[in-house]
C-alpha cells in the first residue's frame, strides 16, 4: 500500500518533466525506490516472521519452563515426602536397634547372673559332696562304734547276769550251809537283790536291734 502511494506521488512529477532525460532519471529513481521499498518490506516481513517465531519460541520455552517448574515442584514434594518417610523409617529402626541393644544388655546381665549362680551352686555342690563324704565317713565310724559298744554291752550284760546267777546260787548255798532258820526269808531277800541289780543293768543297757536278754 505504501508503494502505491509513492508511485502516485512520483507519477505527476514524471509527467511534468520537460525532457526525456529528466523522466528517465525519475524513472530510475522510482525504480530504485521501489526496489528499496520491496527490500524493506521483505526485511520487515522477515523481521516480523522472526519476531513471531521468537515469540512463539519464547512461549514454548515459557511453557517448558512452567512444566519444568511444575515437575520440579512435584519432584521436590516427592523428595520431601520420601525424606520424611526415610526419617521416620530411620527413627523406627534406631528405636528397634536401641531396644535390641537393651535386650542384649539385659540378656548378657542375666547370663552373667546365671553363670554366677551356677558357679555358686557348683561350688556348694562340691562342698556338700565333700561334706557328705565326710559325714558318710563319720556315720560309718559311728555305726562301727555303736556296733562295738553294743557288742561290749551285750557281753557285759551277759557277764553281769552270770555274776548275779552265781551270787544268787552262792548266797543260797551259804544260807543252806549255815542252816539258817529263816532260809525262806533269806532266799526272798537274795532274789530281790538279784532282781534289783538286773533291773539296773537293763535300765542302763544300750539297747540294739536283735539284742537278747537273759532272764
Contact between residue 183 and residue 209 where contact means Cβ atoms under 8 Å apart? no
DSSP the chain: -HHHHHHHHHHHHHHT-SSHHHHHHHHHHHHHHHHHHHHHHHHHHHHHHHHHHHHHHHHHHHHHHHHHHHHHHHHHHHHHHHHHHHHHHHHHHHHHHHHHHHHHHHHHHHHHHHHHHHHHHHHHHHHHHHHHHHHHHHHHHHHHHHHHHHHHHHHHHHHHHHHHHHHHHHHHHHHHHTT-TTHHHHHHHHHHHHHHHHHHHHHHS---TT-----
Residue 26's pLDDT band (cuts 50, 70, 90):
confident
Read off the pLDDT of residues 57-75 as tens digits, 9 standing for 90 and up.
888 988 989 998 998 888 8
166-178 pLDDT tens trace: 666 665 555 555 5
Residue 17: which pLDDT band, with cuts at 50, 70 and 90? very low
Question: What is the spatial distance between Cα 5 and Cα 193, in angstroms, rounded to a whole number?
Answer: 188
Segment 105-135, tens digit of pLDDT: 888 888 888 888 888 888 888 888 777 778 7
pTM of the predicted protein model: 0.34
Confidence band for 209, pLDDT divided at 50, 70 and 90: very low
Amino acid at each position: 500500500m505504501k508503494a502505491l502511494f509513492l508511485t502516485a506521488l512520483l507519477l505527476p512529477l514524471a509527467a511534468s518533466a520537460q525532457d526525456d532525460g529528466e523522466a528517465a532519471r525519475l524513472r530510475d529513481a522510482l525504480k530504485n525506490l521501489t526496489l528499496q521499498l520491496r527490500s524493506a518490506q521483505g526485511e520487515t516481513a522477515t523481521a516480523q516472521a522472526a519476531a513471531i517465531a521468537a515469540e512463539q519460541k519464547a512461549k514454548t520455552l515459557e511453557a517448558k519452563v512452567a512444566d519444568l517448574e511444575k515437575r520440579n515442584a512435584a519432584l521436590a514434594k516427592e523428595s520431601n515426602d520420601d525424606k520424611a518417610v526415610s526419617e521416620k523409617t530411620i527413627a523406627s529402626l534406631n528405636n528397634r536397634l536401641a531396644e535390641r541393644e537393651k535386650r542384649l544388655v539385659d540378656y548378657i546381665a542375666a547370663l552373667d547372673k546365671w553363670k554366677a549362680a551356677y558357679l555358686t551352686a557348683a561350688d556348694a555342690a562340691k562342698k556338700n559332696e565333700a561334706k557328705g563324704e565326710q559325714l558318710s565317713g563319720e556315720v560309718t565310724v559311728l555305726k562301727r562304734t555303736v556296733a562295738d559298744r553294743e557288742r561290749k554291752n551285750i557281753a557285759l550284760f551277759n557277764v553281769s547276769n552270770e555274776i548275779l546267777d552265781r551270787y544268787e546260787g552262792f548266797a543260797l548255798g551259804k544260807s543252806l550251809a549255815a542252816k539258817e532258820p529263816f532260809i525262806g526269808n533269806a532266799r526272798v531277800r537274795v532274789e530281790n537283790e538279784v532282781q534289783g541289780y538286773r533291773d539296773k543293768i537293763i535300765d542302763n543297757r544300750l539297747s540294739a536291734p536283735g539284742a537278747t536278754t537273759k532272764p
